[in-house]
Amino acid sequence: MNHAIRTAILLGGGAAAGLALALGLEAGVGHTPVNADVIAMPPPVATARTVPTDAGQLQLSFAPVANRAAPAVVNVYSARVNRSRATMMDDPFFRQFFGGGAPQPRVEQSLGSGVIIEADGLIVTNNHVVQGADEILVALSDRREFKAKLVFADAKSDLALLKIDTKSVKLPVIRLGDSDRAQVGDVVLAVGNPFGVGQTVTHGIVSAVARTGVGVSDYQFFIQTDAAINPGNSGGALLDLHGDLVGINSTIYSRSGGSNGIGFAIPANIVRVFLSAAGSGKLVTGWIGAEGEAITADSARLAGLDRPGGVLVTAVSPGSPAASAGIRVGDVLTAIDGKDVADPGMLRYRIATQGVGTRLDVALLRAGRVEHVALTLTKPPETPTRSLTTIGGDNLLNGVTIGNLSPAFAQELGAGLPEHGVVVTAVAAAA
């Protein structure tokens, strides 16, 4: 495939017609505190999977699942006013005759979907659907419309939490599932509002459960599906056949802008962590204090492994949870709480789905033996301080802003950065 034309496309964009035109723009959207802790429901109990054994079992219908879940999937319309001066009026010649040009407001509208996760009107969607919006309108499946407030948003996870005032009327909800139970081949349904045509349900299977390198969320860990997902589906639901939320549809790979059978959803377990952080207003990922690299075929042979897999520890921060647990450079981390860790991206995901203060069982290989250690996730420390400095003077780095990396600063900037060193945070236009 020509990688130059394979593009990751965020699904919540484009001009929204019809209902979006009804948006008023008098009041801006503000981040408001959550009045009560958002309670993430525990994952449902796993049930055994069976293969159809006769024609009757093959003649199934997804209608019961769709009918139960669809009322809890909403349309999200957002509008942002871009005020800019008339270009002609910036010219001194015209300004002497007509004065300064008045700002020319231009309304940018976008369209996406959302999932009701609390009956009192809490809705999860993608951050990129509502980012920078001056006003947000939510339309339910029964065509009722509500203005929404942005309660909490996190760009790194590409998730946002909205609240609508239902006047104490309870709304249908979708239960959060356990995305770690999703398996390749499981049937899933995608529900959303593609291209603004109205609520649409499509079906497919889970194509991959640990897809990385998509480039949308810092967690770099997505559920891939071939269910038809198109622009406008962003923030919509990916459901299992129990009607539980497996993921939030987020992006696609496409040459044309439409569905090519390669869609990606943010796992429900990341959504659960995001909701638990809404009360504090900041999503902080736990820290173990160990850095590592993927196991290659060569390093697997040196480590005595029969195949590549796991994370080779290359650095351990003194005083960190990893150091306290006895993890050493050269150890190979293979599992967290019994769940495989195939590479550094999956290690970050396993940690990201657990809250600060959670105690983890870590399986590792050391000198050819499997060992288990226990550690407790902590907040990443801000040591050393970032000490941002802009370089001046007559040199090649004039106008470049640099700072000290720390575990906390590295997490803030994005996954994949080392926890120590110096990082460039800004470059002046003339630099």
Residue 39, judged by CB atoms within 10 A of its CB (0-12, 13-18, 19+), counts as exposed
pLDDT surpassing 70 at residue 370: yes
What Rg value do the Cα atoms of the chain yield, rounded?
Answer: 24
**Residue 70: what pLDDT?**
92
- Let me know if 142 is a catalytic residue: no
Percent of the chain with pLDDT over 70: 75
Bigger pLDDT: 339 or 213? 339
| Domains assigned to the chain | 1-30+66-282 (2.40.10.120), 290-376 (2.30.42.10), 389-427 (no CATH)
Amino acid (one-letter) located at 338:
G
Catalytic residue among 158, 178, 331, 343: 158
Integer CA distances (angstroms), 397 to 387, 423, 426, 429, 431, in order: 17, 13, 11, 12, 7
pLDDT surpassing 60 at residue 26: no
Q: Which among 429, 422, 388 has a CA at the least distance from the CA of 405?
A: 422
Bigger pLDDT: 49 or 112? 112
Query: In this structure, are residues 335 and 365 in contact, taking their beta carbons and an 8 Å threshold?
Result: no
List residues bridging with 365 in a β-sheet.
Answer: 332, 370
Query: In this structure, are residues 113 and 235 in contact, taking their beta carbons and an 8 Å threshold?
Result: yes
**Using CA atoms, how far apart are residues 161 and 129, in angstroms rounded to an integer?**
11
* DSSP string computed for 332-388: EEEEETTEE--SHHHHHHHHHTS-TT-EEEEEEEETTEEEEEEEE-BPPP--S----
Q: Tokens representing 118?
A: 């609390």
Bigger pLDDT: 349 or 416? 349
Catalytic residue among 78, 110, 113, 128: 128
**Residue 22: what pLDDT?**
40
pLDDT range class, residue 259, cuts 50, 70, 90: low
pLDDT range class, residue 220, cuts 50, 70, 90: low
**Residue 27: what pLDDT?**
39
Distance of CA 351 to the CA centre of its chain: 15
pLDDT range class, residue 403, cuts 50, 70, 90: very high
Catalytic residue among 207, 234, 254, 320: 234
Amino acid (one-letter) located at 282:
K
The arithmetic mean of pLDDT across residues 71-91, rounded, is: 76
Dihedral sign computed on CA atoms, order 258, 259, 264, 266: positive
- Let me know if 128 is a catalytic residue: yes
**Using CA atoms, how far apart are residues 358 and 350, in angstroms rounded to an integer?**
12
Query: In this structure, are residues 364 and 295 in contact, taking their beta carbons and an 8 Å threshold?
Result: no
Integer CA distances (angstroms), 224 to 182, 204, 259, 277, 316, in order: 11, 10, 13, 25, 33
**Residue 151: what pLDDT?**
96
pLDDT in tens, 293-347: 999 888 888 777 788 889 999 999 999 999 999 999 999 999 999 999 988 888 9
Bigger pLDDT: 128 or 254? 128
pLDDT range class, residue 416, cuts 50, 70, 90: low
Edge-to-edge strands, sheet with 421-427: 389-390, 400-405, 421-427
pLDDT surpassing 50 at residue 206: yes
- Let me know if 256 is a catalytic residue: no
Q: Tokens representing 119?
A: 């009956």
**Using CA atoms, how far apart are residues 161 and 250, in angstroms rounded to an integer?**
15
